[in-house]
Chain A
């Protein structure tokens, strides 16, 4: 059974940092692109960043470029999101999601349960 389990969320002050983790199991983690998707309270879904299987390609939404860094450790079957210079508007539930690799189309076929990040003084 494919499982993704996020951790690392919490309350942080504006300007602070936080590192999210996502542990994968039940599939060959190193064979898939992985993404972070977030959802602000009461709002819709926003794709944040993704990373290629070997970590050689990374993409970000404009609003987090220069502040967030996505990375992975295939030996540990883990995905990470280092979040610096956090702002109130970064408050959201952060999900990790697997790109199921339906050919060239990006499809988020498995999601974690999410971890809540709250940026507030």
Chain B
């Protein structure tokens, strides 16, 4: 199975900061990479699909890039509502559709 590794596991940042989260696949997954945001007690929310496509309704401060094995999620200017846990997910080839272990973004 393809494994996904996110870094960092946790991150402290301030409102207005630019933040980057990295996701690395154990083998090439082309652009078959999605990003989700999850707040405590809530279901995950799709942010980015196919590595760089912004889901409808998601603020433009979120962006994604990468292909092959290395991907990034960038938040250009952190807002108070962005403090949450972020997961990458690969959907290359057949299941299982593995998620990264998550990155918890906390307020500094």
Contacts and interface: CB of A to CB of B under 8 A. Distances in A.
Interface of A: 35, 37, 44-47, 50, 59-62, 95, 100, 102-103, 105-109, 111-114
Contacts of B36: 45, 108
Contact of A47 (B45, B53, B98, B101): B98
B96 interface: yes
Contacts, number: 67
Interface of B: 31-32, 34, 36, 38, 42-46, 49-50, 53, 55, 87, 89, 91, 94-102
A59 B91 CA distance: 13
Given A107-B34, A108-B36, A109-B55, A47 B46 contact: no
A44 B95 contact: no
Given A44-B100, A44-B101, A111 B43 contact: yes
Given A111-B44, A112-B43, A105 B96 contact: no
Contact of B94 (A35, A59, A95, A113): A59
14 contacts: A37-B44, A44-B101, A44-B102, A47-B95, A47-B96, A47-B99, A95-B44, A106-B32, A107-B34, A107-B46, A107-B50, A108-B46, A109-B46, A111-B45
Contacts of B98: 47
Contacts of B55: 109
Contacts of B43: 95, 111-114
B2 to A, nearest CB: 12
Given A108-B89, A112-B43, A45 B95 contact: no
Nearest to A58: B95
Contacts of A95: 43-44
A81 to B, nearest CB: 15
Tell which of A60, A62, A105, A109 has the most Cβ of chain B within 10 Å: A105
